[in-house]
Chains A and B, each alone.
Chain A
Amino acid sequence: MTFRLVTPFLLAAAALPLGGCAISINDPGAPSPSVARAAAATLTVRFEGIETPKGQIMLSVFDNAPAHDQNGAPVRVAAVPVEGTSALANFEGLAPGDYAVKAFHDVDGDSKMGTNPFGMPLEPYAFSNNAKAQGAPPRWEATRFPVAAGANTIRITIK
């Protein structure tokens, strides 16, 4: 039996949006390749500290506060395999500017965030800047980081 509670309980209530982190790999939010080639920045996201060496990391990249904070469309999405305790995601053709990443470790490989019956996320998740959830996913102000022209790398601990 699966459903989403309308009025979920206590702290799960506030944390619930994590379950719907807008990390849907089928989200049509990614820009077209032609647009991508026209831009000048690349971003490598290195996930570290992975405790279960299997499955994949699913991530969404955002380039503005409203989309990030209000479950809007990401500018890019990716699913990358876990190799040992780390995973690498590469994005090319980004316009320089501020970005933020939301990610979860799809341990069982079903491409969905596992939740308990009340919608609490049960697979590891993380955010850029290693920003912490405080009853709800961290806001853009806590997760944003600059991407400059050329190569950029960030690290995210996900466990």
Chain B
Amino acid sequence: MLDRRELLRRGMLAAGAAAMPQMLAAQGKPVADWTLGLTDVAGDIAPRPLTRLHGRAPGLSGTLYRNGPARFRRGASSVSHWFDGDGLMRAWRIAESEASLAARFVDTPKRRIEERLGAIVQPGFGTPARPGSELGGPDDANAANTHVIAAGGQLLALWEAGSPFALDPETLATRGPVTFRSDLAQMPFLAHPRIEPSGRIWNIGSGGDHAFIWRLSADGRFEAGETIRLPMASYMHDFAATQRHLVILCQPWVQTSPSVPYIQSLAWQPERGSRVLVIDKDDLSRRREYELPPLFFFHLGDAWEEADGTIRFDGCFHKDPLFAVRGAAALLEGRREHSEMPALTLVTLRPDGRADLAAAGITAEFPRAAPEIAGLPRSKTVFVGDYSNDRPFARAVGIWDWDKSSADRFDFGPRQLVEEFVPAGDHLIGTTLNLAAGASELHVFDARRIADGPVASWRSDVALPLSFHGSWMARASS
């Protein structure tokens, strides 16, 4: 029998079309209620008002843009991994007590090819290429499904192995892939750029044991780019930054071959431990490295620096990449294969070269912090959590305070799947999928009193699959 590590080494995945929840039902197996979080959206969602459930959102006016995969299956075919569905851009608009929802799919080459064929054929993170696929470059596989930021008057729908796709912020119409400079077309661009309070954007393009460091202006124009060498060819989904440094955590899930799908090119090599590369933003050749135990992660919080040079950042850490390899694939089949939960953990990089980890003692994912203090000292991390054994998704939202070692949290209960919440001034804004109502909901919290529950909630008339990440864009006051 293969041991856990051997499974990971082989990047074991269901290679063919994933069985669908309906198929499980046809076999007489019960369909878990959470599978609604991976439901398919047939087409764009026309603008529609939301029903206000309770409360008001005083002084809050703007749009919560959220992105996430929403088309996983076509005909008898299915993507093989949660991360490979077509990106659906959602606009949750709030004007005081009124709110509305509109959503449009990002119009990518992948989506066009698969619409034409009526089948899932394009390869991705965990989905193999199938007959009929066309892959002239990374953007042909670009699902544009992971995050959204605004820059230069447009939205950028982000994936991680190819270009951002520009969208009209009002109509959500796709303008096309963004080429920041002609010789940088089709370069990877992570879904988690780090944005300074000034608006300047830093990002990484991950390429094996090299990374391209992107620096963009606040309006999304190319300022500088440089390729650097990494300590190892780690899978990279996120990184962190202080005011002065880029902080790049390299996990021992490393690329060992150029396989497609990507996940099969990676091997778990815990004996190598993890490394943190710290680079001076002003001179990328000035770098230092720290060692950490082996860990796996998708998401990090913002980093900050203290007077003596100590750097801290938090992250949501797993013991290994089993969820990425098997868990997230099984979800599409309505199965929960992997129950290890992400642990909120603080990383401290000390001036003497030592580095250590301190666990908060809570399960948490989708860490966010106030954008106004990105890269600056902070104690609070917004998270979703209370992961439990009955479901693969979060049921609570909270703010963890590293100074107090406690969380102010609100539990939505067992019939709500909780998506990422983002800070918006004195509020937190985010969405849930209400399983009892069969509908997606929008919620606003007073960030100082999370446990009191949302100060305002609205319900839509559609059930959207769970989204990944988003950004709050306050409407400029006139």
Residues of A within 8 A of B (CB): 1, 3, 5-16, 18, 114, 116-118, 120-122, 125, 132-135
Chain A hits for B256, CB < 8 A = 7
* B136 contacts A132, C-beta separation under 8 Å: yes
* B136 contacts A122, C-beta separation under 8 Å: no
* B205 contacts A118, C-beta separation under 8 Å: yes
* A16 contacts B258, C-beta separation under 8 Å: yes
Question: Beyond the given A16-B258, A18-B136, could you list 17 further A-B residue pairs with CB under 8 A, ordered by the A residue number?
Answer: A5-B209, A7-B209, A7-B255, A9-B255, A10-B141, A12-B137, A12-B186, A12-B207, A13-B258, A13-B260, A117-B187, A117-B212, A117-B227, A118-B205, A120-B187, A132-B134, A134-B133
CB contact under 8 A between A134 and B208, given known A13-B265, A121-B137? no
- B18-42 near A? 1/0 per residue, CB < 8 Å: 0000000000000000000000000
Q: How far is the CB of A126 from chain B (nearest CB, A)?
A: 10
Contact residues of B between 218 and 266, Cβ < 8 Å to A: 225-227, 233, 255-256, 258-260, 262, 265
Chain A hits for B474, CB < 8 A = none
Which of B205, B210, B212 has the most chain A CB atoms closer than 10 A to its own CB? B210
Task: Summarize B's interface: helix, strand, loop or mixed.
Answer: loop
* A15 contacts B188, C-beta separation under 8 Å: no
In whole angstroms, what is the CA distance A120 to B205 when docked?
Answer: 13
CB contact under 8 A between A116 and B185, given known A8-B208, A133-B134, A135-B123? yes
| From A9, A11, A15, A117, contact of B208 by CB (8 A) | A9
CB contact under 8 A between A6 and B209, given known A15-B137, A134-B133? yes
Which of B134, B140, B212, B258 has the most chain A CB atoms closer than 10 A to its own CB? B258
Chain B hits for A14, CB < 8 A = 135, 258-260
* B187 contacts A11, C-beta separation under 8 Å: no
* B135 contacts A15, C-beta separation under 8 Å: yes
| Nearest B residue to A124, CB-CB | B136
CB contact under 8 A between A11 and B134, given known A117-B187, A120-B187? no
Q: How far is the CB of A125 from chain B (nearest CB, A)?
A: 8
- B202-214 near A? 1/0 per residue, CB < 8 Å: 0001111110100
The tally of CB-CB contacts under 8 A between chains A and B is 109
| From A1, A8, A132, A135, contact of B207 by CB (8 A) | A8
| From B129, B138, B184, contact of A117 by CB (8 A) | B184
In whole angstroms, what is the CA distance A15 to B162 when docked?
Answer: 13
Q: How far is the CB of A109 from chain B (nearest CB, A)?
A: 15
Chain A hits for B271, CB < 8 A = none
* B137 contacts A1, C-beta separation under 8 Å: no
Q: How far is the CB of A11 from chain B (nearest CB, A)?
A: 4
Residues of B within 8 A of A (CB): 123, 129, 133-138, 140-141, 161-162, 182-188, 205-210, 212, 225-227, 233, 255-256, 258-260, 262, 265
Chain A hits for B227, CB < 8 A = 1, 3, 117
Across the A-B interface, give the 7 residue pairs with the lowest CB-CB distance, nearest first. A13-B258, A7-B208, A9-B207, A10-B161, A135-B135, A11-B138, A10-B262
In whole angstroms, what is the CA distance A135 to B129 when docked?
Answer: 8
Chain A hits for B129, CB < 8 A = 134-135
Chain B hits for A9, CB < 8 A = 138, 161, 188, 205-208, 255
Q: How far is the CB of A116 from chain B (nearest CB, A)?
A: 5
* A11 contacts B183, C-beta separation under 8 Å: no
Chain A hits for B185, CB < 8 A = 116, 120, 122
In whole angstroms, what is the CA distance A8 to B206 when docked?
Answer: 9
Q: How far is the CB of A114 from chain B (nearest CB, A)?
A: 7
In whole angstroms, what is the CA distance A50 to B185 when docked?
Answer: 19
Q: How far is the CB of B60 from chain A (nearest CB, A)?
A: 39
* A11 contacts B212, C-beta separation under 8 Å: no
CB contact under 8 A between A5 and B207, given known A114-B183, A117-B184, A135-B260? yes
Chain B hits for A122, CB < 8 A = 182-183, 185-186
Chain B hits for A5, CB < 8 A = 207-210
| From B141, B161, B162, B233, contact of A7 by CB (8 A) | B233
Chain B hits for A15, CB < 8 A = 135-138
* A10 contacts B188, C-beta separation under 8 Å: yes
| Nearest A residue to B134, CB-CB | A132
* B186 contacts A8, C-beta separation under 8 Å: no
Chain A hits for B260, CB < 8 A = 10-11, 13-14, 135
Q: How far is the CB of B127 from chain A (nearest CB, A)?
A: 12
CB contact under 8 A between A8 and B258, given known A1-B226, A14-B135? yes
Q: How far is the CB of A12 from chain B (nearest CB, A)?
A: 6
Q: How far is the CB of B223 from chain A (nearest CB, A)?
A: 16
